[in-house]
């Protein structure tokens, strides 16, 4: 009986590993509004996916380098970063930091990224620069997560061009809802004008306070407008989620028994399931 259980265990993990290797999904985590939990989501989703046996690369595309700092990189050790690859032609493998967290590799960002629009303005194929840079390493990872800046400037556009799908983080506030509608329209125009083939992974409510009637009203309206594109998982406010970046750790390592860890665990499950169905999903909604 023990031998049989061991065989079943090995078969299960072999099948899981094959499934993991077959995923190959690049996700742009976006919103043109700041303070919506993009970085918290990127870091915890990455570590959560790695904890399920997936190989994950985080690409920090925000000049504030918040994802890099939250993953434990010191602010005086951010170079070499994505800037070296985007602007100087350094091979991407030379800026990847392996095992920055268990199962998670990282490409850092730094302040020079804020000049990307200027530095790449005259570059040929500037919207595909990130796609071309990551091409040699895409097959090495099951998931590549891009933490984008709070704007729809050239670097986030690069992420959308390269990505298979996008995940929008949304706080349940009226102006955030309006910003999401504008973002969806902007991406729809990019799809038409530039041939971007990015799909809609989903909209994630973050920093939810269920006791606020206004929040509930906004969430109901977003679900009405965007339907199944809204994720079931919700991330509520939790002090442990706010503490974790200070220690350069994910919520799963900082407070594994916390509610925040439970919610992000649920997100990992939902993202894995949705990614399986990405080819069958509709495109970005026109709002």
Q: What does the H/E/C string look like for 218-262?
A: HHHHHHHHHHHHEEEEEEECCHHHHHHHHHCCCHHHHCCCCHHHH
How do residues 120-137 score in pLDDT, each as one tens digit? 888 888 899 999 999 999
- The tens digit of pLDDT for each residue in 43-63 reads 999 999 999 999 999 999 999
What residues contact 177, with CB distance under 8 A and at least 6 apart?
A: 170, 218, 221, 222
Please report the pLDDT score of residue 72 as a whole number. 94
Tokens of 238: 């939790």
pLDDT (0 to 100) of residue 178:
85
pLDDT at position 9 is 34
Q: What is the pTM of this model?
A: 0.87
Give the bridge partners for 200, in sequence order: 166
Distances (CA, A) of 45 to 57, 101, 223, 261: 11, 12, 22, 10
Q: How far apart are CA 89 and CA 133, in angstroms?
A: 9
Q: Crossing angle of helices 38-51/259-276, nearest 10°?
A: 80
Over 101-151, what HEC string results?
Answer: ECCEEEECCCHHHHHHHHHCCCCCCHHHHHHHHHHHHHHHCCEEEEEECCC
Q: Residue 120 has what pLDDT? A: 85
Which positions of the chain have pLDDT values less than 70?
1-23, 279-287
Q: What structural domains does the chain harbor?
A: 24-280 (3.40.50.300)
Residues above pLDDT 70, as percent of the chain: 89
């Amino acid at each position: 009986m023990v031998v049989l259980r061991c065989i079943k265990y090995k078969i299960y993990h072999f099948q899981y590993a094959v499934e993991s290797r077959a995923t190959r999904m690049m996700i742009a985590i976006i919103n043109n509004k700041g303070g919506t939990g993009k970085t918290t989501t990127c870091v915890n989703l990455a570590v959560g996916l790695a904890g399920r046996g997936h190989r994950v690369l985080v690409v920090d595309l925000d000049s504030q380098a918040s994802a890099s700092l939250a993953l434990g990189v010191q602010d005086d050790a951010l170079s070499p970063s994505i800037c070296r690859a985007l602007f100087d032609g350094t091979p991407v493998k030379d800026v990847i930091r392996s095992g920055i967290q268990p199962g998670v590799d990282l490409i850092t960002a730094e302040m020079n990224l804020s000049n990307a629009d200027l530095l790449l303005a005259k570059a040929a194929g500037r919207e595909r620069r990130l796609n071309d840079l990551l091409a040699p390493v895409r097959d090495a990872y099951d998931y590549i997560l891009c933490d984008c800046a709070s704007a729809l400037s050239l670097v986030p556009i690069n992420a959308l061009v390269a990505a298979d799908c996008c995940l929008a983080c949304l706080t349940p506030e009226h102006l955030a809802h309006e910003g999401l509608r504008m973002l969806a329209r902007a991406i729809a125009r990019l799809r038409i004008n530039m041939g971007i083939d990015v799909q809609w992974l989903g909209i994630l409510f973050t920093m939810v306070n269920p006791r606020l009637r206004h929040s509930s009203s906004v969430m109901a309206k977003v679900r009405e407008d965007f339907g199944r594109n809204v994720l079931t998982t919700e991330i509520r406010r939790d002090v442990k989620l706010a503490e974790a970046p200070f220690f350069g750790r994910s919520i799963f390592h900082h407070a594994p028994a916390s509610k925040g860890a439970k919610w992000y665990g649920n997100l990992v499950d939902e993202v894995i399931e949705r990614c399986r169905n990405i080819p069958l999903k509709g495109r970005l909604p026109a709002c």
